[in-house]
Amino acid sequence: MNAKRLRELPLHLMILPGAIIVFIYHYIPLGGLVMAFQKYMPARGIMSSTWVGWRNFEYMFSLPSTLEVFWNTIFIAVMKIVAGLVVPIFTAILLNEVSRAAFKRTVQTMIYLPHFLSWTILAGILIDILSPGQGIVNQMLGWVGIQPIFFLGDNDWFPYTIVISNEWKEFGFSTIVYLAALSSVDPALYESAVIDGAGRWRQTWHITLPGIRPVIVLLMTLSLGQVLNAGFEQIFNLYSPYVYESGDIIDTMVYRMGLLDAQYSLSTAVGLLKSVVSLILISVSYGLASRFANYRIF
């Protein structure tokens, strides 16, 4: 073993536990994907179950709810991606204009805290504050003459409630990324703009946004790989049969089919299709990131 390999040995030993965990929980279970092409019977096991080829996929697309579930997933995920770009950028620009460091740090801490709470905790909070009967949000709407809204039980409101609550939880974390990018913009550009008579809005449009454009493009392209991930944990804790029409997504559909209805082969087929499409989207997004933001993994 040469000197270079000997120096790198501690680094390889440090990564070994993580690699073992990934192998156990991510690679070994891949063998179970053969259930998507079987009529899986738990009593027989994978090796003895009957092979049915593409029949599970054909049946999946024949279900009346399949296209609805895929549409819900894409619709909610795309709205989350758009909100996840616009809100943090806007917040970061506003915070960047704050001159008082103590106030700026306080605001950053307040908007960052929800990121550390699980959806199990936040779901209980949201169910209470959005309750049509005693929720504080509907009480405030009643003060201005608006009838109570069942945010978590109305198909017209549920997707938007999901997006807004998700952004409330996560935008503080994303804001830090853009604040870091803003710190790299040359202050001399702003000084020159002031001399030329540019106001705050023109400085933002012609200096701030172009200065962080590589980061915006990078995060936007990388987010394309999450189009089929609408957030299982959040929706699972907030939805109900009342909003299956607008809130049921691929992950919750797989959960109900596989664990509640014991349709293991069908749920595996749905999950496999999602994984294949997600792999394609992730590959495309990394290709776009490499081309437009000069971002490469290897």
Domain assignment of residue 78, yes or no:
yes
- In tens, the pLDDT along 139-182 reads 998 898 888 889 998 899 999 999 999 999 988 888 888 888 88
Domain assignment of residue 27, yes or no:
no
Residues 6+ apart with CB under 8 A from 150: 132, 157
159 close to 75: Cβ distance less than 8 angstroms? yes
Domain assignment of residue 191, yes or no:
yes
**Residue pLDDT tens, the chain, 298 long:** 577 777 888 888 899 999 999 999 988 888 888 888 988 888 888 888 888 888 888 888 888 888 899 899 999 999 999 998 899 999 988 888 887 888 888 888 888 888 888 999 999 999 999 988 888 988 998 898 888 889 998 899 999 999 999 999 988 888 888 888 888 888 888 888 888 888 888 888 888 888 888 888 888 877 877 777 888 899 999 988 889 999 899 888 888 888 888 888 888 888 888 888 888 888 888 787 777 767 666 5
Q: What is the pTM of this model?
A: 0.84
**Rounded Cα distance, 228 and 71, in Å:** 10
Domain assignment of residue 218, yes or no:
yes
Residues 6+ apart with CB under 8 A from 231: 76, 77, 80, 162, 166, 249
Domain assignment of residue 48, yes or no:
no
The domain that holds 124 is classified in CATH as 1.10.3720.10
Cβ neighbours around 173 below 10 Å, total: 15
Domain assignment of residue 280, yes or no:
yes
**Rounded Cα distance, 93 and 188, in Å:** 17
Residues spanned by the domain of 169: 62-292
Domain assignment of residue 56, yes or no:
no
- In tens, the pLDDT along 34-78 reads 888 988 888 888 888 888 888 888 888 888 888 899 899 999 999
**Rounded Cα distance, 113 and 119, in Å:** 13
Domain assignment of residue 154, yes or no:
yes
- Structural domain count, the chain: 1
